[in-house]
Amino acid sequence: MGTTSSGGLGASLYLQEVHGVIAGKLAAVDMASEKKLHALMRKVLAQPGVRAVHDVGEGGILWALAEMTFGDGSAGGEFKVPCGKERPEEAVFGEGAGRILVELDEASLAAVENLAKEAGVEFTHIGRTGGKDLKVTCGDIYTLNTYKRLSSQSAEAAAAYLEAQRIYGRDNSRTPFQWDGSTHAGFTTGTPWIKINPDFTSVNAESAEQDPASTLHYFRDLIRLRKAEPTLIYGAYKLLDEDNPQVYAYTRSLGDEVFLILLNFSSRDARVDPGNLNLEAAKRIMANYAEENPTRTWLRPCEAVIYRL
């Protein structure tokens, strides 16, 4: 119950125990929100079926969940901690105030949620206790809960919030990893909480492994090339054609060796100005088009080329 923001990792046990650093400050405490939260907790504790409550001020949510589920050595649980726009380590180890974990029976869930709504305190259901292991993942529950709350208040407010999340949210740009063409793309035997992209039957890791022209193999070739050519790692960087809005062009130079990298970031043909470099004598080392462009000062849509000069 309370805010889903962790307050960051300032002055946290995580920094001290994992990184050996004692640094930063705890997030400021909103005393009005704290007063409201603790007044609510007095009502919650009077409800039947409430088993335990725990603050998250020492070690964060993950620490508190471990103490609550394994305190008697007999139980585990599976939880999805809200991340919002925070990094996962902040979400699970941040020690900011304004949050309290509540363990309760299923039958008491609706009553406690109504109490929180009446008090104006955010209520987030993050998982269930039980089992032998503690499983904690980080998910954007905050976005879903906010949309659900706004939907109950105003269709217009919910629609506006959803439109904003298309810009600021993250889950609309990622889906479970597609390993193969089997059920749920081989990602899980359960039910993923984010839908699998319908293209999983053809766009997946197994298909990419079998296709020598796939992006996967192309990226592996890039890594191999970089490891084999010290100039691409340690060479001096020089930007070319700086004012070109379509093309990113630069050289990497080390000793007598020079590489020219040309990248067209647009969906249209683009002309590149290589300055005084002689492209006719350059050797094409790698590219994402199979056939070489006879006019080297022009790049095809989204073309990427590496030349040795």
Residue 286 lies in a domain: yes
Residue 173 lies in a domain: no
Confidence of residue 172 (pLDDT cuts 50, 70, 90): low
Confidence of residue 170 (pLDDT cuts 50, 70, 90): low
Query: What would the two tokens of residue 23 be?
Result: 């640094």
For residue 244, the enclosing domain spans 215-308
Residue 194 lies in a domain: no
Q: Are residues 29 and 124 in the same domain?
A: yes
Question: In sequence order, what are the residues at sequence separation of 6 or more whose Cβ sits closer than 8 angstroms to the Cβ of residue 135?
Answer: 76, 77, 78, 79
Query: What would the two tokens of residue 126 be?
Result: 């993050």
Q: Are 82 and 124 in contact (CB under 8 A)?
A: yes
Q: Are 1 and 102 in contact (CB under 8 A)?
A: yes
Q: Are residues 133 and 18 in the same domain?
A: yes
Residue 154 lies in a domain: no
Residue 67 lies in a domain: yes
Q: Are 185 and 178 in contact (CB under 8 A)?
A: yes
Residue pLDDT, tens place only, 31-47:
999 999 999 999 999 99
Query: What would the two tokens of residue 41 be?
Result: 């907790």
Q: Are residues 103 and 18 in the same domain?
A: yes
Work out whether strand 257-264 and strand 247-254 pair parallel, antiparallel, or are unpaired: antiparallel
Residue of 232, 1, 218 lying closest to 99 (CA atoms): 1
Residue pLDDT, tens place only, 92-123:
889 988 899 999 998 898 899 999 999 999 99
Residue 163 lies in a domain: no
Q: Are residues 133 and 25 in the same domain?
A: yes
pLDDT at residue 90, rounded to an integer: 86
Residue 164 lies in a domain: no
Q: CATH number for the domain including 246?
A: 2.60.40.1180
Q: CATH number for the domain including 105?
A: 3.90.650.10
Produce one character per residue of 145-180: b if its CB has 16 or more CB atoms within 10 Å, e if not.
bbbeebeeeeeeebeebbeebeeebeeeeebbebee
Query: What would the two tokens of residue 73 be?
Result: 């050595």
Residue of 84, 85, 92 lying closest to 122 (CA atoms): 84
Q: Are residues 24 and 127 in the same domain?
A: yes
135 DSSP 8-state letter: E
Phi, psi of 218 (to 5 degrees): -60, -45
Query: What would the two tokens of residue 32 be?
Result: 């009005």
Stretch 68-89: mean pLDDT:
74
301 DSSP 8-state letter: T
Residue 151 lies in a domain: no
**Which of 139, 158, 182 represents a domain boundary (last residue)?**
139
pLDDT at residue 277, rounded to an integer: 85
- pLDDT for residue 306 is more than 70: yes
Residue pLDDT, tens place only, 176-190:
899 999 999 999 888
**Which of 79, 110, 139 represents a domain boundary (last residue)?**
139
Q: Are 60 and 6 in contact (CB under 8 A)?
A: yes
**Which of 100, 123, 139 represents a domain boundary (last residue)?**
139
Residue pLDDT, tens place only, 213-226:
899 999 999 999 99
Produce one character per residue of 262-285: b if its CB has 16 or more CB atoms within 10 Å, e if not.
bbbeeeeebebebeebebeebeee
The fraction of the chain above a pLDDT of 70, given in percent, is 94
Domain count, the chain: 2
Q: Are residues 28 and 131 in the same domain?
A: yes
Residue pLDDT, tens place only, 211-264:
998 999 999 999 999 999 999 999 999 999 888 999 999 999 998 999 999 999
DSSP bridge pairs for 259: 252, 308
